[in-house]
Amino acid sequence: MNKNAAVQIDPREKYLRKIQSARIDIIIMIMLTIINSFLLFTESQTYFFFSAFIPYRIILESAFYTGKMPAVYYESLELEGELEFLGIEIFYIAVAIAAVILGVYLLCFFLSKTSKKALWFIIATVIFAADTVYLLSYAVDYGVIGECVFDILIHAYVLYGLISGVISSYKLKDLPELPEVPSGDAPLPVSEDNSAEPTQNDSDVQ
């Protein structure tokens, strides 16, 4: 046996690892988006990458224009005159929209484990692709590509992982089913004709 022979990796295991990695990316993204959204209402300047951009911006914009942000944010703008805020109901509607988006991600996370179809990965990929496009357009429109470059790279990484999850789901579906392993040694079937014939030992006795 050639010791230098390449070890063959079961394709099923490879695809399952990629699917699991994509699911982990989804749940991390959800958690960090929620954490970043809560940090908006503190005076902390901390922001964690790996966050969905659209839900975060929805909450940030609505919180700012409804006066829900800490006072230090408004003081740093040095605005002339008093800033008029929108009704608080705008903020609640925005939070609900962001929650729905994250809820769809969460649904994709759970159902991508129990479902053998790639549908839930496709949904998560389409939504996050739109999130990435919006991040790029925001960075270009406001001239903050340098500040957003790391966030853009993280989005590209997550998007690549989700696409890999979609492809792996399809390839895993195309693989043949594994044969069922019997739980125990089953007795061999006995032919009725053979049971009626005398054995060799019986013939000798006679």
| pLDDT value at residue 45 | 84
Please write the tens of the pLDDT for every residue from 161-197: 999 999 998 888 877 665 555 555 555 555 545 444 4
Let me know the angle formed at the C-alpha of 153 by 152 and 158, rounded to the nearest 5 degrees.
Answer: 95
* Total-model pTM: 0.77
The per-residue b/e assignment along 176-203, b for 16 or more CB within 10 angstroms, e otherwise, is eeeeeeeeeeeeeeeeeeeeeeeeeeee
d(CA 125, CA 169): 13
For 78, the 3-state DSSP assignment is: coil
| pLDDT value at residue 5 | 46
**Does the pLDDT at position 206 exceed 50?**
no
d(CA 118, CA 134): 24
Nearest-Å Rg of the Cα atoms of the chain is 30
d(CA 26, CA 36): 15
Please write the tens of the pLDDT for every residue from 84-97: 888 999 999 999 99
Q: Is the dihedral of CA 102, 107, 110, 115 positive or negative?
A: negative
d(CA 56, CA 105): 14
Confidence grade of residue 70 (pLDDT, cut at 50, 70, 90): confident
Mean pLDDT of the chain: 83
Burial of 90 (0-12, 13-18, 19+ CB in 10 A): middle
CB 148 within 8 A of CB 63: no
Please report which residue ranges of the chain form alpha helices under DSSP H. Answer: 11-39, 53-65, 71-75, 88-114, 119-141, 145-174, 192-196, 200-205
| pLDDT value at residue 180 | 55
**Does the pLDDT at position 106 exceed 60?**
yes
